Amino acid sequence: MRIDVDIGAQRLRLYDGAVLLREYPVSTGANGAGEIQGSGCTPRGRHIVRARIGAGLPSGAVLRARRWTREVWSPALHAHHPGRDWILSRILWLSGCERGRNRLGCVDTFRRYIYVHGTPDVERLGQPASHGCVRMRNEDVIELFDLVPAGTEVELHE
């Protein structure tokens, strides 16, 4: 299994060898592609899924600092916390594999807390809007989470 994230097309594809298994719309960094800490950009290059967080949580479970807050997203909760960067349902935490490009120093994807994660249903996908992460519909990220183990290769490119 491997994951391919096309930043230009705003699509995530899951492959088993050369066979396309799934394709999902996503939303990547509003500031485009880039690797520098604090840039709000989505990092490029070879990565792996270093950690999987949220197994068994309900769809829409609100995660902060990689822990469930015991909240489940709703329009009312959204209105009560305007501007919150919602991380919902599941987290696939990425780690860069290319020293100096997306690993170590000021370009370290893992230390930047770059995830593939769920987002509220009101958020539009198919256009860059995140703070650097790869946002997905909750049902899509749950399906992907259930299909890929830790260590799965992830390529992010423009």
Cβ neighbours around 114 below 10 Å, total: 27
pLDDT (tens digit per residue) in 26-57:
999 999 999 999 999 999 999 999 999 999 99
Evaluate if pTM is beyond 0.95.
yes
At residue 124, the pLDDT reads: 87
Domains of the chain with CATH codes: 2-157 (2.40.440.10)
At residue 19, the pLDDT reads: 98
pLDDT (tens digit per residue) in 104-140:
999 999 999 999 999 998 888 999 999 999 999 999 9
Query: CA torsion sign, 41 to 11 to 56 to 109?
Result: negative
At residue 39, the pLDDT reads: 97
At residue 13, the pLDDT reads: 98
**At which residue do the structure tokens 């950009």 appear?**
41
Cα–Cα separations (whole angstroms), residue 98 to 35, 46, 72, 90, 106? 11, 7, 36, 25, 13
pLDDT (tens digit per residue) in 53-84:
999 999 999 999 999 999 999 999 999 998 89
pLDDT (tens digit per residue) in 15-28:
999 999 999 999 99
Q: Are the beta carbons of 152 and 4 closer than 8 angstroms? A: no
How many angstroms from the chain centroid is the CA of residue 150?
14
- Compute the half-sphere exposure of residue 143: CA atoms within 13 Å on the CB side of its CA: 12
- Give 16's contacts (C-beta < 8 A, 6+ positions apart): 1
Return the ∠ at Cα 95 (arms to 52 and 4), rounded to 5°.
80
Q: Are the beta carbons of 135 and 126 closer than 8 angstroms? A: no
Q: Which of 137, 151, 127 is nearest to 8 (CA)?
A: 127
Q: Are the beta carbons of 88 and 115 closer than 8 angstroms? A: no
Q: Are the beta carbons of 114 and 61 closer than 8 angstroms? A: no
